Chain A
């Protein structure tokens, strides 16, 4: 058995698409631009990054669905381009969303079909399927057609399908999308259990807490390149020397946000909306107290609770990703 479950060296992938028929125009997207990574056996590895960063593409390069434009990758020592059959025997793939199932078949028939495809021996199938239906809590509804399933139920069926053949390496692309909090917690438990029993897991997610709780190591990918890689604790260092101010507000305008962004000492500023409430998060250099300045900019806006706290993994993530996404700010704004 190979030392590493997943090895990738210089992985690149360019999508070429043609639009227009009479006058075809070529468009090229460099989705992944040189990813190097190794994941050890039994490791639980997280891949984080903004939308369009190249996470799904990276996973599809590793699970043989796409052929790399350049670079090589091995799964359990087998090359993903030339030894696809060996690779496919060893991997499971679960992606987020409600597609990828046979809607007019029952959950049991779906699993039966894939068990057959993935070569689960006939005498073991029944037991394995029952076991997995119980694991994802679809037992009791396994004979209903999938078209009547809720989104989260489909997602759980996906997960069961991905585990049918007891893969050594499991690729989970946003597996918890649409899954309710209780089921999501159970899913995390399942994933942790799998890793504890030696399954290697490569997970992408947009939920920082999930990554923080589960992953031994995390790679933050943006623009098709790995921007940072390390344990959650190591990644948190990217926000070292910063502090975070959170302000509950109702009606912060874009102009105000922009003004806050260029305040002296402010490194990041963003607004997330939940219901009618806005949550303004401002990261600043630890030595500078920006609270007074920020509140002055918010003059006239109705405010709720104001809290200052230490940075979390999410703040570190924001710092890493913004470093790539935003062009460097004018010098005087930084120096001032």
Chain B
């Protein structure tokens, strides 16, 4: 069920002309940003890391906007009621959607790397090429599950968009996708440690430029699983609230 849902939602998402346009342009911008940030910093050796970080930002944006927006989009399409009517746990219906947003986000990662290579000649030498191929999907899976938690928080809020926008940059920063965590003020540490994005980003970075990948990936998936459970519980609660508050339909 999740498989078919994931496949079809990915299909539905990736066929949107808006998504396609964004997906084409954003990675170029991100690759450029990454390259110039680090050129200015005189650390050409870390270009790959920068590109990977930029790619991760893309995945995160996709999950955040996708998952927060997914529910809203389902509501606009009038499909939210239809999927909620299925005799299944509400979380199972939403999870394929948030996973699909993460999967479409992978494209941003690939495109950023590709543009980085084509435009700026960033050498694509991964420390652990195989692990990189595992870490990225693992990170995607984790973010997809985290997305469910986001999604469930967003169902009840009709103006989730405002919240979405305020979450995009802080989490890029706090999770150390682009800049190393060490440059951030100390109080962000605990927040970072609790976010699956941090560990996912770390795993992917480690796979790209060296380091033990498995622990970070494991922690990322463990936290995400926790998010999944909390998200699922919340989804069930939220579904009931939505039925009471009549927010499933576009009123």
Contacts and interface: CB of A to CB of B under 8 A. Distances in A.
A114 B82 contact: yes
A130 interface: no
Interface in B128-179: none
B155 to A, nearest CB: 14
A103 B245 CA distance: 27
Nearest to A100: B78
Contact of A88 (B5, B16, B87): B87
B86 interface: yes
Contacts of A141: none
B3 to A, nearest CB: 9
Nearest to A93: B85
**Secondary structure of the A side of the interface?**
mixed
Contacts of A103: 12, 77
Nearest to A119: B87
Given A88-B87, A104-B15, A105-B11, A117 B93 contact: yes
Given A65-B243, A105-B8, A116-B1, A100 B79 contact: yes
B77 A102 contact: yes
Interface in A129-181: 145, 161
Contact of A109 (B8, B85, B93): B8
A91 B5 CA distance: 21
Interface size class of chain B, counting residues whose CB lies under 8 Å from the partner chain: 20 to 34
B125 interface: no
B248 interface: yes
Contacts of B118: none
A15 B85 CA distance: 20
Interface in A87-140: 88-89, 91, 93, 97, 99-105, 109, 112-114, 116-119
Contact of B81 (A100, A109, A116): A100
A301 interface: no
Contact of B84 (A17, A65, A99): A65
Counting chain B CB atoms within 10 Å of each CB, the highest count among A112, A117, A145 belongs to: A117
Nearest to A98: B78
Contacts of A91: 85
Interface string B1-25: 1001100100110011000000000
Of A66, A113, A145, chain B has the most CB atoms within 10 Å of the CB of A113
Interface string B214-251: 00000000000000000000000000100111101101
Given A65-B84, A116-B5, 19 more contacts: A15-B251, A16-B245, A66-B244, A67-B243, A67-B244, A86-B87, A88-B87, A89-B87, A93-B81, A93-B85, A100-B82, A105-B12, A112-B4, A113-B8, A117-B1, A117-B88, A118-B86, A118-B87, A119-B87
7 contacts: A65-B243, A88-B86, A113-B8, A116-B1, A116-B5, A118-B86, A161-B82
